């Protein structure tokens, strides 16, 4: 088992190294950092950013906006998903609205949000609106996949609806909710960064991305992109770890 873990780590390292080499080859071929900076210049920019206090303040604010929008979408998505999953009339009422939200282009939502909210609240609203349909849909799917025989047994033994919702529907929908949360978390980082680029709130990764583009500091642009990638992976792995801890406690 130990050897397998070591081999897996080496494998992941070699895969990352392979793509960095491919990146370096393309950078050498293009030979213009304004289009594609080399890995060396990108990591040099990243190194400078990591030794700047402003970088960590920026990461803190962007993380707050991302997670706040994500958590609101989880809470409301699960609550509304439960009610819509067990009540067909509520589902028919909310389904068109959620379908519209799901199909609206992200850029349209960002522009509308800029008109409606302060610049610092725009990313939160956009993250919420993009993640909510995922959580809502997964919750409903989980409830609809509840074992019919189990529900029939509950009916025979006159188990109250509250206990059915808490015990039967909850555990049926839980794997779907977890899957939806993981998907939504990854999307929330993308849409929050996009919203920050347009709304330009103070202390935001998006504003640094925008400045890098305006001043043609492309290595910085790539460095901030790597930071977003790292944060997304970090929080996704943290969420998976929390799910595993919760499963082990059960």
What one-character DSSP code corresponds to residue 216?
Answer: T
Using CA atoms, how far apart are residues 213 and 203, in angstroms rounded to an integer?
17
Q: How many CA atoms lie within 13 A of 180 on its CB side?
A: 26
Q: How many CA atoms lie within 13 A of 78 on its CB side?
A: 21
Give the list of residues 6+ apart from residue 206 with CB closer than 8 angstroms, or none. Answer: 62, 123, 192, 193, 194, 195, 196, 197, 198, 199, 200
Average pLDDT of 32-58?
A: 90
Does 160 score more than 90 pLDDT? no
pTM: 0.85
CB-based contact 43:104 (threshold 8 Å): no
Report the pLDDT value the prediction gives residue 4, as an integer from 0 to 100: 47
Kindly report, residue by residue over 91-146, the tens digit of the pLDDT: 889 899 999 988 888 889 999 999 998 888 999 999 999 999 999 999 988 888 76
Report the pLDDT value the prediction gives residue 145, as an integer from 0 to 100: 74
Residue for token pair 């070699």 = 14
| Strand spans (E) along the chain | none
Higher-scoring residue by pLDDT: 31, 57 = 57
CB-based contact 226:55 (threshold 8 Å): no
Give the list of residues 6+ apart from residue 210 with CB closer than 8 angstroms, or none. Answer: 197, 200
**Per-residue pLDDT band at 16 (split at 50, 70, 90):** confident
Average pLDDT of 42-56?
A: 91
DSSP string, 138-190: HHHHHHHTS-HHHHHHHHHTT--HHHIIIIIIHHHHHHHHHHHHHHHHHHHHH
| Nearest of 21, 25, 41 to residue 33 by alpha carbon | 41
Please give the structure tokens belonging to residue 161: 């609806």
Report the pLDDT value the prediction gives residue 23, as an integer from 0 to 100: 85
Give the list of residues 6+ apart from residue 211 with CB closer than 8 angstroms, or none. Answer: 217
Report the pLDDT value the prediction gives residue 83, as an integer from 0 to 100: 87
Kindly report, residue by residue over 84-93, the tens digit of the pLDDT: 888 888 888 9
| Nearest of 228, 200, 190 to residue 49 by alpha carbon | 228
Average pLDDT of 46-75?
A: 93
Please give the structure tokens belonging to residue 27: 């950078």
Report the pLDDT value the prediction gives residue 248, as an integer from 0 to 100: 65
Report the pLDDT value the prediction gives residue 234, as an integer from 0 to 100: 92
**Length of the chain as a residue count:** 250
Kindly report, residue by residue over 216-244, the tens digit of the pLDDT: 888 999 999 999 999 999 998 988 888 88
Average pLDDT of 169-197?
A: 87
Average pLDDT of 164-168?
A: 63
Does 163 score more than 70 pLDDT? no
Give the number of other Cβ atoms within 10 Å of residue 1's Cβ: 5
Report the pLDDT value the prediction gives residue 241, as an integer from 0 to 100: 87
Please give the structure tokens belonging to residue 222: 């790539």
């Amino acid at each position: 088992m130990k050897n397998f873990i070591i081999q897996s780590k080496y494998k992941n390292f070699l895969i990352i190294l392979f793509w960095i080499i491919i990146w370096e080859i393309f950078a050498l071929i293009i030979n213009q950092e304004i289009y594609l900076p080399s890995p060396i210049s990108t990591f040099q920019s990243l190194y400078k950013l990591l030794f700047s206090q402003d970088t960590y303040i920026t990461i803190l604010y962007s993380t707050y906006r991302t997670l706040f929008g994500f958590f609101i979408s989880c809470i409301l998505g699960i609550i509304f998903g439960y009610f819509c999953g067990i009540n067909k009339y509520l589902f028919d009422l909310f389904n068109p609205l959620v379908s519209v939200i799901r199909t609206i282009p992200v850029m349209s939502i960002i522009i509308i949000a800029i008109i409606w909210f302060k610049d610092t609240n725009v990313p939160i609203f956009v993250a919420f609106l993009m993640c909510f349909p995922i959580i809502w849909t997964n919750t409903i799917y989980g409830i609809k996949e509840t074992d019919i025989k189990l529900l029939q047994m509950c009916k025979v033994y006159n188990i109250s609806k509250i206990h059915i919702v808490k015990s039967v529907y909850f555990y049926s929908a839980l794997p779907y909710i977890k899957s939806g949360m993981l998907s939504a978390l990854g999307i929330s980082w993308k849409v929050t960064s996009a919203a920050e680029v347009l709304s330009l709130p103070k202390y935001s990764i998006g504003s640094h991305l925008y400045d890098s583009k305006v001043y043609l500091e492309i290595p910085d642009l790539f460095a901030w992109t790597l930071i977003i990638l790292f944060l997304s992976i970090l929080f996704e792995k943290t969420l998976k770890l929390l799910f595993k801890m919760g499963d082990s406690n059960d």
